[in-house]
Amino acid sequence: MLPALSGLLRPVPAAAQAPATDSPLPSWNDGAAKQAILDFVRATTDQSSQNYVRPEERIATFDQDGTLWVEHPMYSQVVYCLERVPAVVAKRPELRNAEPFKTVLSGNRAAMAKLSMKDLEKILAATLTGMSVDEFNAEAVKWLETARHPRWQRPYTDLVYQPMLEVLRHLRDNGYKTYIVTGGGQDFVRIYSERVYGIPPEQVVGTAGATKYGYAKDGKPFLTKEPKLLLNDNDAGKPEGIHLMIGRRPLAAFGNSNGDREMLEWTDAGAGARLKMLVMHDDATREYAYGPAAGLPDTKVGALTAALYGEAKKDGWPVISMKNDWKRIFAFE
Amino acid sequence: MLPALSGLLRPVPAAAQAPATDSPLPSWNDGAAKQAILDFVRATTDQSSQNYVRPEERIATFDQDGTLWVEHPMYSQVVYCLERVPAVVAKRPELRNAEPFKTVLSGNRAAMAKLSMKDLEKILAATLTGMSVDEFNAEAVKWLETARHPRWQRPYTDLVYQPMLEVLRHLRDNGYKTYIVTGGGQDFVRIYSERVYGIPPEQVVGTAGATKYGYAKDGKPFLTKEPKLLLNDNDAGKPEGIHLMIGRRPLAAFGNSNGDREMLEWTDAGAGARLKMLVMHDDATREYAYGPAAGLPDTKVGALTAALYGEAKKDGWPVISMKNDWKRIFAFE
């Protein structure tokens, strides 16, 4: 029976009288991107659909930086690591005059911007490993509570995209398990994923290092974060990480950069209805515009969309324009 | 209101009229082990309990071999690997006269019993890696359908302990997420975990190797199983694997050997109500009796319970006697 007809025949139930925002994706403008999401969910959850998927297999994966929250001007976890350097050097004074720590301590932003990927890895290793998991969690929680994004002067966890939270919710309302699959540190993201995204820690796949089990003086066991990389969850590491941590191929995947290419490709290569989408940063007023999709020269962060965006255009799969598809960017607006 | 009283006052709903087996743990005899499970579940799920835990944090982990299914006379996955050797040698003839493959091909059981752990590792690497994930899954599915346990002449997946299936169900009925945390191969166990235990692949943590993302000639992406170990999910590897794959400390853990010691210890070291239990193999008639818990000399498989069993006795935590606590062992009985 059509809903319109049923409304004529019996009293409208309370739920149906709720304001229009109770329909899915209220922060999305009507258009191809919104429609693609709605169509995909219907196709995979309507029992009469030829692409129906039983609930157990409904998996959707989301990149984080630039897909679920702001990644400019710098990945927040990198900011965290840089800001941790003074505390690390206080404990390990031999690093004070060693590079790249000396440059970071100098506060010279021009010099810091020139640090190489190898330098950055040294900083990540020194600030993310060599302590217990509990110590790391306590430090990161403290930082997340006090750190502020330089532009909005708000906690980084406020800078999540409201329209993407609605996609997560719409998928979950339809029986999907939603996962974050991030190049960021798995332990870092797990601290706030439940509170911020409604995604429990066990559904966060990220760049992950080994831990080492040991005992404190009182005999209590604890885990130490080791400087040994188990999973570099970028590029091909994303499908590899999905296999390791989930063991099922996702039906839907969302990303925003070339680091997400393999995840999108892997998702798309399965049978039946599939959804792969890119978030395009083309809104300099409300967020940022960067990358060729915005008609701008490449910039350091998120610069990698060029080839992937070309592919999406060529093959006709939907790209999310922050400027045109989203009514608002953040919940606090 | 007491259920008995409520029955006097209003019609008994259909569900309450179901046979007595609808009460939890029907295959368990009354006793300390059954009571410990029921008490723990009540303590962590009753909102008025001081040890109440919100549903999101209800995690329980189970070893597999010897805890959820039969591990004698040999781990089924090791049987699988040995039986795969002829097919591997057919593809890689250079292995035919190389040890340990030559011994396995000879069929000489006495010689095979003498293979070292290093030999076994070579066999595991040759039979579990170097093929795509899809090829591996197809082979393992075929084997699981046709292989028979030498004693019961039934598929290995029939040889799961009915009382433990009831524990899994009781925990899930009370909002727990149940995980397998096994020394066995993660990819192997994930193939049947959902069908056999009701545990989805993403809730299986096991010994895991790296995969490598690549492309077939037609451009389709695939994952190859690499001979590179990421997680040895035994001993300290169990809490390390739990941190990597789940990111929360379990509230309850079940094992049967010293390989589970650290998992039980890690589980127990958290705050609030905790449950750690050992399955003791003391029923030679219906299953097997082995290890010192059964008053028998150590045997090769599952021999490691000696120290751990002593600890359980000393500290007074509950040990499950298959002989005394279980009314039946298998569903097919």
- The rounded percent of chain A whose pLDDT value lies above 70 is 89
Q: With contact defined as beta carbons under 8 Å apart, do A193 and A199 qualify?
A: yes
* Cross-chain residue pair A265–B177, CB shorter than 8 Å: no
Find the CB nearest B213 among A133, A213, A239: A239
pLDDT score recorded for residue A171: 98
Same-domain status, A64 and A185: yes
The answer as to whether A7 is a domain residue is no
> Residue A333's pLDDT band (boundaries 50, 70, 90)?
confident
How many other β-carbons are positioned within 10 Å of the β-carbon of residue B17? Answer: 9
pLDDT score recorded for residue B21: 52
Among residues B123, B146, B169, the one where a domain terminates is B146
pLDDT score recorded for residue A310: 83
Same-domain status, A94 and A201: no
Dihedral of alpha carbons B288, B291, B294, B296, sign: positive
Give the list of residues 6+ apart from residue A49 with CB closer than 8 angstroms, or none: A42, A43, A273
Same-domain status, A254 and A135: no
pLDDT tens-place string over residues B140-197 = 999 999 999 999 999 999 999 999 999 999 999 999 999 999 999 999 999 999 999 9
Among residues A146, A174, A206, the one where a domain terminates is A146
> Residue A301's pLDDT band (boundaries 50, 70, 90)?
very low
The answer as to whether A1 is a domain residue is no
pLDDT tens-place string over residues A76-94 = 999 999 999 999 999 999 9
Would you call B142 exposed, middle or buried from its count of C-beta atoms within 10 A (0-12, 13-18, 19+)?
exposed
Would you call B187 exposed, middle or buried from its count of C-beta atoms within 10 A (0-12, 13-18, 19+)?
buried
Q: How far is B286 from chain A (nearest CA, A)?
A: 35
The answer as to whether B12 is a domain residue is no
The rounded average pLDDT for each run of 10 residues, N- to C-terminus, in chain B (333 residues) is 36 42 89 98 98 97 97 92 94 94 92 89 93 96 97 98 98 98 98 98 98 97 97 97 98 94 97 96 92 61 66 89 97 92
How many domains, in total, are found in chain B?
Answer: 2
* Cross-chain residue pair B186–A243, CB shorter than 8 Å: no
Q: With contact defined as beta carbons under 8 Å apart, do B179 and B62 qualify?
A: yes
Q: How much is the average pLDDT of A56-69?
A: 97
The answer as to whether A10 is a domain residue is no
Find the CB nearest A202 among B212, B236, B246: B246
pLDDT tens-place string over residues A310-321 = 888 889 888 999
Closest CA to A275 of A63, A60, A20: A60
Q: Which residues in chain B belong to E strands, given as ranges?
A: 59-62, 177-185, 204-215, 221-231, 252-255, 275-280, 319-321
Same-domain status, A225 and A100: no
Find the CB nearest B223 among A177, A231, A243: A243
Same-domain status, B142 and B287: no
pLDDT tens-place string over residues A183-205 = 999 999 999 999 999 999 999 99
Q: How much is the average pLDDT of A59-75?
A: 96
Q: How far is B209 from chain A (nearest CA, A)?
A: 8
Same-domain status, A268 and A124: no
* Cross-chain residue pair B221–A262, CB shorter than 8 Å: yes
The answer as to whether B284 is a domain residue is yes
- Measured in degrees and rounded to the nearest 5, phi and psi for residue B62 equal -130, 125
Assigned token pair, B45: 């799920």
Q: With contact defined as beta carbons under 8 Å apart, do A64 and A156 qualify?
A: no
How many other β-carbons are positioned within 10 Å of the β-carbon of residue A154? Answer: 13
Select from A240, A248, A264, A315 the residue whose CB has the most chain B CBs within 10 Å, as the one to mutate to test that interface: A240
Length, in residues, of chain B: 333
Same-domain status, B229 and B165: yes
Closest CA to A273 of A246, A243, A241, A250: A250
Whole-complex ipTM: 0.91
Closest CA to A321 of A73, A32, A40: A32
Better-scored residue on pLDDT, B98 or A16: B98
Q: How far is B220 from chain A (nearest CA, A)?
A: 7
pLDDT score recorded for residue A305: 64
pLDDT score recorded for residue B16: 40
pLDDT score recorded for residue A44: 98
Which chain B residues touch A262 with a CB distance below 8 Å? 213, 221
Q: What is the mean pLDDT of chain A?
A: 90
The answer as to whether B267 is a domain residue is yes
The domain that contains B304 carries what CATH number? 3.40.50.1000
Range of the domain at B56: 20-73+154-325
The answer as to whether A2 is a domain residue is no
pLDDT score recorded for residue A291: 77
The answer as to whether B239 is a domain residue is yes
pLDDT score recorded for residue B305: 64
Same-domain status, A40 and A62: yes
Among residues A101, A128, A146, the one where a domain terminates is A146
Same-domain status, A260 and A177: yes
Same-domain status, B107 and B222: no
pLDDT tens-place string over residues B300-322 = 445 556 778 888 888 988 899 99
Which chain B residues touch A202 with a CB distance below 8 Å? 59, 177, 245-248
Which chain A residues touch B245 with a CB distance below 8 Å? 202, 245
**Distance between CA atoms of A98 and A109, rounded to whole angstroms?**
17
Same-domain status, A109 and A158: no
Same-domain status, B142 and B32: no
Q: How far is A305 from chain B (nearest CA, A)?
A: 20
Find the CB nearest B204 among A230, A231, A247: A247
Closest residue on chain B to A261 (Cα): B221
Q: With contact defined as beta carbons under 8 Å apart, do A254 and A167 qualify?
A: yes
pLDDT score recorded for residue A2: 35
